[in-house]
Amino acid sequence: MDRHHQVPSSSVQVLSVASEMFPFVKTGGLGDVVGSLPVALRAEGVAVTTLLPGYPAVLDALEGPVRVAEMTPLPGVEIALLEGTAAGHHLLVVDSPALFRRKGNPYLGPDGADWPDNGVRFATLSRVAATIAQGGVPAYRPDLVLAHDWQAGLAAAYLHYDGHPAAPVVHTIHNIAFQGRFPAQDLERFGLPPHAFAMDGVEYHGDIGFLKAGLHFATWITTVSPTYAREIQKPEWGMGLDGLLRSRSDRLVGILNGIDTDDWNPATDPAVLFPYHVGDFRARRPNKRAFQAEFGLRQDPDVFLLGLVSRLTGQKGVDILADVVPRILDDRTQLVVVGSGEAAMEQAFVRLSRRFSDRLACHIGYSEQLGHRLQAAADSLLIPSRFEPCGLTQLCASRYGCVPIASRVGGLADTIIDANAAAMACDAATGFLFFPTDPDTLVAAIQRGGAMFRDPDRWSHLQRNGARYDVSWGHKAREYAQLFRRVLGRNDAVSPGVEKDVLLSRRGGHGRRPWLPGPGVDLPSPRTGRLVRHAARRSRVRGHDPHARPH
């Protein structure tokens, strides 16, 4: 290990455990964060080693790989643990050809359905993480484990049931809608003891809940914006886990994501056809003209060009956008859609592009370069999400002079200042927010944006204000570093952001109120991810009302 990764002894050593990481594998914001946060943490005295599955793209990128351990993490599963570097990152890679050497989406097969062995795949990742945390790799033992989303949720559970003192776990929720639920009969297959299948263990509505386990056993919980941290403690946003999160509110904090400002720099971005400096937004005009030509739209600088770069799913509210297309497109407005997702949503936008061929164009599929070009060309970026833990596209858009029009939810509410009269009067506005997320409010927000676009002086103020906003990882990484040191007891300092957002316990210590699900909750289906109504079940704990929630 030391041959590749020598760090000062005073550094905090963090093992980051994730299922994806840019630039190797990415399906969304999770990959971006896992790829960019370690770089920012170096400046804060935090050395990050990232544990990843051995996907083909990861193995291909790994430089100077060394086999540092062989393990049997689960019954019948054998892996080799590789260590090396890639794209400037220090990596540990779980090499299991049977589990991870599959091209394409890391979670879905060629038919678009979840791989049937996803439970075993990511239980393996979590089990290996727990083994490393207990000193299972020569010359490396992390001070702390940073586990991301449901795929790393069992790491804290394995550490708990192993019963050995080991590194504390900070679990980060990137999207609470994805929970990792698997059948109860897989308990032994996952290497968990029978008594783990309990409400104060990994059991979740009759299934094994990976995310639930992570949130229950983690030392601290973070999520990716202060507003989202508050939202997910409410029944309407918590996806069935709100009670658990309320019971752990003294160990829950929201820290905003940042972006890699070297990667997102219009002056050096190789995807931008006509480079320009942040703040010099008149130089965007050639990009708009070229983008309109690329998509077969009328080349007109005075048209209000709207863009959408998104997964085409219900969470992102793209069905609402599809419904209002006839109301927002006129001779002075165009729309370009870039993304992929649910087949019905893809087909809806293809049909609309044929119906409004002179005003709407779409590219079905994921394209990092096209996303960059769109934000360098479009006047406004549409983000009509029903919920949004943080969102990264609005940060990128503001840096590129593309004014966001977004739902007032989650991290969007934390990072966009609405262009209302008061904000415009004090020259603070950076975009347009609307709530609730419905067709009428979306149309009204687009109309507000269009009206201001036609007032160039006021529009340029919005662009400049957005560009001045610090979207880098700098102070966000500092908040993570201070939280890590707090967890480790290395100092008592908490950054202003953490101090503001943590609901401190008056009871002190690790005291937890019992969590029980409510009388009926909407939970994501373990197979489709769609919300399904679940009735309450009786508590297995004598004397507890199954309908009670912690106060």
The answer for residues whose C-beta is within 8 angstroms of residue 281's C-beta and 6 or more apart is: 401, 460, 463, 464, 467
Q: Show binding-site residues for ADP-alpha-D-glucose.
A: 26
Give the E-state strand segments of 287-415 in sequence order.
304-312, 333-341, 360-364, 380-383, 403-407
Which residue's structure tokens are 């880098």?
472
Cα 265 to Cα 199, 466, 514, distances in angstroms: 48, 14, 48
Cα 318 to Cα 142, 205, 229, 285, 308, distances in angstroms: 42, 30, 24, 27, 9
Is-contact 169 218, C-beta < 8 A? yes
What are 543's two structure tokens?
């004397």
Cα 344 to Cα 327, 339, 350, 423, distances in angstroms: 21, 13, 10, 39
Tell me the one-letter amino acid at 37.
L
Cross-strand partners of 147: 17, 171
Is-contact 55 41, C-beta < 8 A? no
d(CA 277, CA 259): 17
Give the E-state strand segments of 262-325 in sequence order.
304-312
**Which one, of 53, 61, 120, 51, lies nearest residue 88 by Cα?**
61
Is-contact 241 153, C-beta < 8 A? no
For 104, the 3-state DSSP assignment is coil
Q: Show binding-site residues.
A: 26
What are 238's two structure tokens?
């918590």
Cross-strand partners of 404: 381
Is-contact 153 120, C-beta < 8 A? no
d(CA 247, CA 126): 24
